[in-house]
Each structure stands twice: as C-alpha cells, then as structure tokens.
Amino acid sequence: MKIRRKNRFAAEVSTSSLNDIMFFLLLFFLIISTVANPNVIKLFLPKATASQKINKKQISLSVTADKRIFIDKVEIPTAELENALANAIVGIDEPTIVLRIEKSLSVQDLVDVLQITTKLKIKVVMATDKG
C-alpha cells in the first residue's frame, strides 16, 4: 500500500508589515503638508543678518522678477496697485505690508512700490532670507 504525503508547500505573502509602512508614509506626508510654506509665489529674496517678526494682521505684497505684482496671492495690474492697496487696508487700524520683492529687480522698482505705500501711510516690512 502506497501512502501519500500531503506536505505541499503553499506560497504565502506576509502582509503584516505593510500596515506599519503605510501608517508611517501617511504620517510623513501629513507632517510635510502642514510644514509646507503657504506662500506659493516663489521669489529669491535678498539676504539680511538681522530679522524682526511682527504679530499684527499683515498684507503680503509680492513682486516677481518679471514685475508681476501679487497682493495676498492675487495678481494685480501695476496701474491698479494703489487702488488695490487702498481697498486691502480698509478697516485695518495700523496697516502693515510684508514686501517680498525679487532681488534681481532694480532699486527703482522698490522705490515705486514704496512711494505708493508712503502715500497711503502704510508701514512696510521687507521680507528677506536668512543670510
């Protein structure tokens, strides 16, 4: 009488560690997404050694290398900058603008923006990179 053995090996895939890997990937992407800079407009800012932080409500004014102007991520035509700033500061006691201007632009471009803010009596804080 011939006896057969049933010792066949079945192929198995162990998925117990995949849950841990997926959890760590999810955690990593959640942390990275909260740390990401909310300012989407990429600029190369000038460098400064001294820095100052402000805690008031502020308006972000960005000027790109091709002289496009953004107020809080909304593009504004250059001719309408003064009106747009006047509308943006309505209801703010001491308006403060954080000016992010591309370092490759000329000083005259900076002065043009500063003349408008001086005319509207707005404080200007220039954003820089740590240097």
Q: Would you state the pLDDT for residue 25?
A: 92
Q: Which residue has the higher pLDDT, 14 or 67?
A: 67
Domains of the chain, start order:
47-130 (3.30.420.270)
Is residue 21 predicted with pLDDT exceeding 70? Answer: yes
Distance CA 66, CA 105 (A): 9
Mean pLDDT (the chain, rounded): 82
pLDDT of 38 reads 57
**How does pLDDT run across 35-94, given as a tens digit for each residue?**
765 555 666 777 777 766 655 678 889 999 898 999 988 899 988 988 998 888 888 888
Query: CB atoms < 10 A from the CB of 118, how many?
Result: 11
